[in-house]
């Protein structure tokens, strides 16, 4: 038998993507999914801010307007981008952490917004389950709480517990910091795409005599070095988040005060939602 020689010039063969190509693909999905989710996040956060100035009624009206914008496309704007962002971020981190040639500051989370992503996920997943998935159950006594029934009264009733306060403010604080710093990274990434020269058609079919571009090689540590936020900007971010948390806290306090007494039937349905989750029982320990 004779050995099969490599194809002559012009020949092609299938090849697996390089580590650099995988990182670029994961960065693409990570950033684009984050941009899609922002379309939902901004109007969703408007309600507790408005509540600080207009109370429960203002929060309800703002929420209804926001729901008109995103509810018809909720899977596309919320669940799909969030899932893609979550798994592409984890995959990218796994790929970096297994690159032993890179320094630890790149392989593992080192910046605050990277570290906050993990507790943020632990707060966000229960929030979605408690506020969206369980209330849609048709089992009694929940019986599919409609959007009009699942409003800020539901939040105000939950805020009778200090555990809920910790969860809501932790979610807002971690979420806003992660979103703002991540947004700056996405903006930098978009600028780099705009400045990058086009190299023509690329595919998974590689020519044996093709030109190897620097981007096709595994990224070096200098390429992946985290961008340090300047101190004045970092102080501004911290100040903005503290102000936002203060405004949201006032909004939640006004919602709690305006909620008042809940009817016996709605109380039973609300309790059924919270009792279906182990973390809601933890809230009541506070």
Whole-structure pTM value: 0.81
Tell whether the model's pLDDT for residue 120 goes beyond 70.
yes
Residue pLDDT, tens place only, 85-99: 999 999 999 999 998
Residue 201 falls within a domain, yes or no? yes
Query: Angle of helix 162-195 relative to helix 231-259, nearest 10 degrees?
Result: 140
| Percentages of the chain per state (helix, strand, coil), in multiples of 5 | 70, 0, 25
* Spacing of C-alpha 200 from chain mean position: 33
Residue 3 falls within a domain, yes or no? no
- Give CA–CA dist 166/118, Å, rounded: 16
Residue 79, both tokens: 């669940």
Residue 141 preceded by cis peptide, ω within 30: yes
Residue pLDDT, tens place only, 63-114: 999 999 888 899 999 999 999 999 999 999 999 999 888 888 888 998 888 9
Residue 4 falls within a domain, yes or no? no
Residue 7 falls within a domain, yes or no? no
pLDDT at 105: 81
Residue pLDDT, tens place only, 158-180: 998 888 899 999 999 999 999 99
Residue pLDDT, tens place only, 121-170: 999 999 999 999 999 999 999 999 988 889 999 999 999 888 889 999 99
- Give CA–CA dist 31/68, Å, rounded: 25
Q: Element (H or E) spanning 44, and its range?
A: helix 19-70
- Give CA–CA dist 270/265, Å, rounded: 9
pLDDT at 284: 65
- By the 8 A CB rule, do 41 and 34 touch? no
Residue 235, both tokens: 């102080």
Tell whether the model's pLDDT for residue 211 goes beyond 50.
no
Tell whether the model's pLDDT for residue 186 goes beyond 80.
yes
**CB under 8 Å to 141, separation ≥6 — which residues?**
268, 269, 272
**CB under 8 Å to 26, separation ≥6 — which residues?**
88, 89, 91, 92, 95
- By the 8 A CB rule, do 141 and 272 touch? yes
User: Domain tally for the chain?
Assistant: 1
- Give CA–CA dist 174/123, Å, rounded: 9
Residue 1 falls within a domain, yes or no? no
pLDDT at 50: 97
Domain region containing 36: 12-207+216-283
Q: What is the mean pLDDT of residues 249-265?
A: 95
Average pLDDT, the chain: 84
């Amino acid at each position: 038998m004779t050995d099969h020689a490599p194809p002559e010039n012009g020949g092609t063969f299938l090849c697996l993507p390089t580590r650099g190509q995988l990182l670029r693909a994961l960065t693409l999905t990570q950033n684009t999914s984050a941009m899609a989710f922002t379309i939902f996040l901004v109007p969703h956060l408007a309600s507790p801010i408005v509540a600080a100035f207009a109370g429960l009624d203002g929060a309800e009206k703002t929420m209804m307007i926001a729901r008109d914008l995103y509810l018809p496309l909720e899977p596309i704007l919320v669940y799909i981008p969030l899932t893609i962002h979550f798994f592409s971020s984890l995959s990218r981190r796994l790929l970096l952490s297994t690159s032993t040639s890179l320094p630890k500051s790149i392989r593992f989370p080192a910046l605050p917004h990277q570290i906050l992503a993990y507790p943020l996920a632990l707060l966000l997943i229960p929030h979605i389950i408690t506020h969206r998935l369980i209330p849609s159950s048709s089992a009694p006594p929940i019986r599919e709480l409609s959007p009009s029934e699942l409003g800020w009264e539901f939040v105000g009733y939950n805020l009778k517990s200090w555990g809920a306060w910790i969860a809501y403010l932790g979610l807002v604080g971690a979420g806003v910091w992660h979103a703002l710093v991540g947004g700056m990274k996405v903006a930098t990434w978009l600028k780099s795409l705009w400045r990058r020269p086009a190299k023509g058609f690329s595919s998974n079919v590689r020519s044996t005599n093709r030109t190897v571009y620097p981007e096709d090689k595994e990224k070096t540590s200098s390429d992946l070095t985290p961008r340090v936020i300047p101190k004045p900007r970092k102080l501004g971010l911290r100040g903005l988040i503290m102000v936002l948390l203060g405004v949201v806290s006032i909004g939640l306090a006004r919602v709690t005060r305006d909620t008042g007494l809940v009817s016996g039937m709605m109380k039973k349905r609300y309790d059924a939602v919270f009792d279906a989750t182990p973390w809601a029982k933890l809230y009541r320990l506070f």
